[in-house]
Structure 1
Amino acid sequence: MNSLKGFIKDFVKNKGQHVFLSLLIAKICAFLGSLFIIRILPESEFGTISIVASVFAIFLPFSGFGSQQSLLRFGSISDDITDKKALSKYLMKQGFIYQLVLSFLFLLISLVYVNKYEDIFYIFLLFTIRLIGFYFLNHIQSEFRIFGNNQGFARITNTVNIFGVLLLLILSYFFGLKGYLVAIAVTPFTAFFWFKKEQYSSAIDSFNFKKKEIWNYGLHAAGTALLSDTLFSADVLLLSFLMNETAVANYKVAILIPANITFLALTFMQSDFPSLAKNYQNKNFLTSYITNYYKIFIPVSAGIFLLGFVFKTEILSLFFSERYADNTWVFTILLAGFSINMLLRNLFGNLLSAVGMMKMNTVISILTLIMLLCFSFISVTRFGIEGMAISLSLSMLIGGILLLFSFYLYWKDLK
């Protein structure tokens, strides 16, 4: 994998393109759904939905207390089919118990907002159902990945997301907010069409990994993902308390495209995650991977930022209507922040996950979140939503540098 050509050839050989394209389609569907809702809902309703969705985004990575992340990593490392099945069976059962606890806690959060936002409890309730549905969807997806069935993974991911966005468009058009909530609650349960009950009934109850090791990794992975997504939800939640729902709506519009450009890096690395996990002690492999990653994503990041900077007003007007066209500075700041994020935080955060250094990932995620909170309370009061954009971008940059340094310490000790 020394050359870029060999790097891409190995990617295709492992059917990575199926995973990449399916995750790309998922992002496009999510973007289209958000775009449609922005256009049909009043600012106040969209702002309320954004608040609940931001809380949901905090809880989602902690699904099953990290059972899916453990299944993906330890299942990828194991070459024994029996071990993979036993691990999947155990994590499905135990993870679901933890998921019910998590869903209850999510619903309790609604009590914080009940007195301030009308009908928000019912919005939380439908999002709670969605949270449970995502537990099953993510487990089944991880199961496809560990058995090397990337085409099957792509099939389930494409079906769920395309069906979901179509259902959302139809129900939202005819029933407004209520239709939107029903659509998002039902969609992830489509994954049950790929649920194979006989696979679990035939699996044995023992495997070669220690349960303590599995849950230690899973909890740190979930905690890291939770903190990572909290970073991209805390900004909206802080604005909901420091300003109002109109400010939330304007900021949410400005961040929608910048935040979604990272799907290129994330989906690329998710496609390679099983391979990275297997080669976590191979210094030459990791070095070559980083080199070839930068050959692809430095030009991509630079191109995206330049294109967005030149056409910022046209992009906001085209996608979100003229009423949001005044958010060009917020859009530009966030676009720069997320472009750099692809080169630092996305790359080295995922590498630390693949090599098993989840504890360090968690620590840096906590530090990054603390930085965001500190920067925000200082800058939002002075600069409004522009201050929040600066705070988030600066926090991501410093966090990315810390992740790079942590991975370097791991890499230099490899033989």
Structure 2
Amino acid sequence: MKSLQEFLQNFFKNKGQYVFFSLLIAKICGFISSIAVVRMLPQSDFGIMTIVASVFAVFVTFSGFGSAQGFLRFGAIAEQAEEKEKLHQHFFLQGFLYHLILSVLFILSSFFFVQKYGDVLLIFIFFTIRLIGFYFFNHIQSYFRVYHDNKNFARVNNVVNVFGLILIIILTYFFGLKGYLLAISLAPFLSLFWFFKYKILNFKRTKLQKKELWSYSFHAVFTAFLSDLLFSLDILLLGFLLNENAVADYKVAIILPSNLTFLAVSMLQADFPKIAKNAHNQLFVKDYISNYYKIFIPICLVIFGISFFFAKEILTLFFSSQYAPETQVFLILVITFLMNMLFRNLFGNLLSAVGEMKKNTIISIFSLIVLGISAFILVPKFQILGMGISVFLAMTFSGFLGMFFFWKYFKKLA
């Protein structure tokens, strides 16, 4: 994999384009649904729903206590199909029990918000149903990735996201917030079709060495939790320090920038099994990083140029003139997520693929500390602009720290 041409040929040979376009479709669907919800729901309903969605984003990272991540990592490096199947049955069954406990904790967390937001309990109930559905959705995705079946990975992803979008638009239009909640709770259960089609559901217990498997899984899920908390803590802190209207304004400013990372994530997800298998090959790792930058540095420069010159027009076009004044926050967040693509996404995924999950946990902990401290200092003075700066500091710090840890790992391969 010495040249960029060979790098891209390997990507297409691995059918990475299916992963890319399925994640692109998912981002487009998420983006369209966000715009539709912004336009169809009152600002107060949208603000409250966003707060609950931020809590959900924290809990969903604990899905099965990392069972899907553990299966993806160890299933990818397993040589025999029989071994892969044993791993899947073990992770699926044990993880589902953990996930039920998680769902109970999520609904109980609603009582922290009931006093301030009266109708929040109903929203939490629908999001709890969605949380359970996501367990099946995540596992079927990992299953197809382990078996390098990127076509079926794309199919299940596309069906859940496209039909989910259709449900959201129709039900929100006719029934408002309740219709939206019904749509998002039903969508992930569409993935059950593939469970029954491929007879993946199997309740036979298997005996495996659990310590190593779940040690990685717990670190993976805890790191994912801390990482997603970084994306949710900004919303939660704004809800605490300011109000739901500020949350709505900030959410609109971050929707587009946060979706930019799908470009990097899609490639890294498609290549994850290949990276895991070549974790100790220094030449492979070096060439992978080099070719990754050949692709994404020019992409980031183009995106920044468009955003810099047309920020106000972009916000007005996709949302409304009501949100056009938030151009400063928008630009800061664009820069933040472009830096995220170049550092945090790349080195975080590389550390995960090579088994260095503990390093990712350390990075996420320090990033949260940076976000929390800077937010309490900057938000009271600069409002949502202060939160944008805080997110930039936290995510840029995590990207450079990830690069530092991976460089230490890379030198050991020599």
TM-score, normalised with respect to structure 1: 0.98
CA contact (8 A) 2:195 2:201 kept: no
CA contact (8 A) 2:11 2:271 kept: yes
Q: Which amino acid in the other structure matches residue 329 of structure 1? A: Q
Which residue of structure 2 aligns with residue 252 of structure 1? 251
Cα deviation 1:283-332 (Å, max 9, x = unaligned): 10000000000000001111111111110000000111011111011101
What is the rounded CA distance, in whole Å, between the counterparts of 2:201 and 2:48 in structure 1?
40
How do 1:371-382 and structure 2 match up within 5 A?
Answer: 371-382=370-381
Q: How many correspondences in the alignment?
A: 413
What is the rounded CA distance, in whole Å, between the counterparts of 2:347 and 2:199 in structure 1?
39
How do 1:303-318 and structure 2 match up within 5 A?
Answer: 303-318=302-317
CA contact (8 A) 2:86 2:206 kept: yes
Cα deviation 1:214-271 (Å, max 9, x = unaligned): 1111111111111111101100100001000010000000011011101111111001
Which residue of structure 1 aligns with residue 345 of structure 2? 346
Cα deviation 1:97-122 (Å, max 9, x = unaligned): 00011111111111011011121001
Q: Which amino acid in the other structure matches residue 306 of structure 2? A: L
Cα deviation 1:347-377 (Å, max 9, x = unaligned): 0000000000000100110100111000000
What is the rounded CA distance, in whole Å, between the counterparts of 1:198 and 1:46 in structure 2?
39
What is the rounded CA distance, in whole Å, between the counterparts of 1:342 and 1:214 in structure 2?
29
What is the rounded CA distance, in whole Å, between the counterparts of 2:287 and 2:243 in structure 1?
48
What is the rounded CA distance, in whole Å, between the counterparts of 1:88 and 1:248 in structure 2?
40
What is the rounded CA distance, in whole Å, between the counterparts of 1:255 and 1:199 in structure 2?
38
What is the rounded CA distance, in whole Å, between the counterparts of 1:43 and 1:205 in structure 2?
50
TM-fit CA distance, 1:23: 1.1
Which residue of structure 1 aligns with residue 397 of structure 2? 398
Cα deviation 1:134-171 (Å, max 9, x = unaligned): 00110011111111111111111111111100011111
What is the rounded CA distance, in whole Å, between the counterparts of 1:389 and 1:289 in structure 2?
31
**1:205 equivalent in alignment to 2:206:** yes
Q: Which amino acid in the other structure matches residue 98 of structure 2? A: Y
Q: Which amino acid in the other structure matches residue 244 of structure 1? A: N
TM-fit CA distance, 1:200: 4.8
TM-fit CA distance, 1:211: 1.0
Which residue of structure 1 aligns with residue 75 of structure 2? 75
**1:184 equivalent in alignment to 2:188:** no
SS in structure 2 at match of 1:148: coil
Which residue of structure 2 aligns with residue 121 of structure 1? 121
Which residue of structure 1 aligns with residue 3 of structure 2? 3
What is the rounded CA distance, in whole Å, between the counterparts of 1:123 and 1:151 in structure 2?
34
Stretches of 4+ aligned residues off by more than 6 angstroms: none
TM-fit CA distance, 1:42: 1.0
Distance 1:256 1:199, change over 3 A: closer
**1:56 equivalent in alignment to 2:56:** yes
Distance 1:247 1:199, change over 3 A: closer
Q: Which amino acid in the other structure matches residue 310 of structure 2? A: F
Which residue of structure 1 aligns with residue 276 of structure 2? 277
Cα deviation 1:186-217 (Å, max 9, x = unaligned): 0000011001474454977245xx31111111
Cα deviation 1:65-95 (Å, max 9, x = unaligned): 0000001110000111001111111111100
Which residue of structure 1 aligns with residue 30 of structure 2? 30
TM-fit CA distance, 1:398: 1.0
Distance 1:175 1:403, change over 3 A: same
What is the rounded CA distance, in whole Å, between the counterparts of 1:328 and 1:83 in structure 2?
52
Q: Which amino acid in the other structure matches residue 8 of structure 2? A: I
Any gaps of 5 or more consecutive residues in structure 1? none
Which residue of structure 2 aligns with residue 356 of structure 1? 355
What is the rounded CA distance, in whole Å, between the counterparts of 1:140 and 1:199 in structure 2?
8
SS in structure 2 at match of 1:116: coil
How do 1:92-103 and structure 2 match up within 5 A?
Answer: 92-103=92-103
What is the rounded CA distance, in whole Å, between the counterparts of 1:200 and 1:131 in structure 2?
19
CA contact (8 A) 2:89 2:203 kept: no
**1:46 equivalent in alignment to 2:15:** no
**1:330 equivalent in alignment to 2:329:** yes
Q: Which amino acid in the other structure matches residue 206 of structure 2? A: D
Q: Which amino acid in the other structure matches residue 28 of structure 1? A: I
Compute the RMSD of aligned alpha carbons.
Answer: 1.1
What is the rounded CA distance, in whole Å, between the counterparts of 2:216 and 2:135 in structure 1?
18
Which residue of structure 1 aligns with residue 213 of structure 2? 214
Q: Which amino acid in the other structure matches residue 94 of structure 2? A: Q
CA contact (8 A) 2:93 2:203 kept: no
CA contact (8 A) 2:265 2:345 kept: yes
What is the rounded CA distance, in whole Å, between the counterparts of 1:144 and 1:387 in structure 2?
42
CA contact (8 A) 2:141 2:156 kept: yes
Which residue of structure 1 aligns with residue 384 of structure 2? 385
**1:321 equivalent in alignment to 2:298:** no
SS in structure 2 at match of 1:32: helix
Which residue of structure 2 aligns with residue 167 of structure 1? 167
TM-fit CA distance, 1:176: 0.7
What percent identity do the matched residue pairs reach? 56
SS in structure 2 at match of 1:55: helix
What is the rounded CA distance, in whole Å, between the counterparts of 1:203 and 1:144 in structure 2?
20
TM-score, normalised with respect to structure 2: 0.98
